[in-house]
Amino acid sequence: MYLTKNSAIIYIPFKSARAAASTVSEIVKRKVVPYALEYIPQHAVQTAERFLERAMPDNSHPAYLIVGVDGNTENEIDNQLEIVGEVCQEMEGADAYLADTPLRQQQLWKVENVSLKHTKPSMRSMRWTHVYPEVSSLTTLRVQRRSPNV
């Protein structure tokens, strides 16, 4: 889990997995460098809700992204959030739920962690990815799969 004093996380439902995946590259094309960019399928959100006995703001869409941004100032974070929000609207994002306090951010990461740990072992390595922009180019992506034990 990565939390800083100046950070925010957005939980975004999408109408399709393809729309969520396309959003990832579009966010990076717009020069936003998120510290976290996670794809979560609907069944994983619903699994986490049952396990944690806590409802998410939305569990009715087939795909979700968690996008974490940070910065040196509130203004820097707000600018990144605005860009991410615009991209998500353009790419069939149904809504955006902001976790702007450390407590809300921790609760959202709990959902992500529980979703990963309580899925079939065969799904663990293919469901979750971390996307990191390369140092040389923001438009080139390097995808690092999490190990099933993370």
Per residue in 71-91, pLDDT (tens digit) is 988 899 999 999 999 999 999
pLDDT of residue 34 exceeding 90: yes
Question: For the chain, which residues make up each domain, given as ranges?
Answer: 7-129
Cα–Cα distance measured from residue 7 to residue 9, given in angstroms and rounded to the nearest whole number: 7
CA terminus-to-terminus distance, the chain? 11
Flag whether the pTM goes above 0.85.
no
Residue 119, pLDDT score:
56
Cα–Cα distance measured from residue 150 to residue 146, given in angstroms and rounded to the nearest whole number: 7
Residue 138, pLDDT score:
30
pLDDT band of 4, cuts 50, 70, 90:
low
Q: What does each C-alpha distance from 9 to 50, 64, 102, 126, 147 come to in angstroms? A: 22, 13, 10, 23, 23
Per residue in 88-135, pLDDT (tens digit) is 999 989 988 998 788 888 888 888 777 666 554 544 444 333 333 333
Per residue in 40-69, pLDDT (tens digit) is 999 989 988 888 888 888 999 999 999 999
98 phi/psi in degrees, rounded to 5: -95, 130
- Give the architecture-level CATH label for domain 7-129: 2-Layer Sandwich (3.30)
Residue 54, pLDDT score:
86
Residue 61, pLDDT score:
96
pLDDT of residue 3 exceeding 60: no
Query: Rg of the chain over CA atoms, in angstroms?
Result: 14
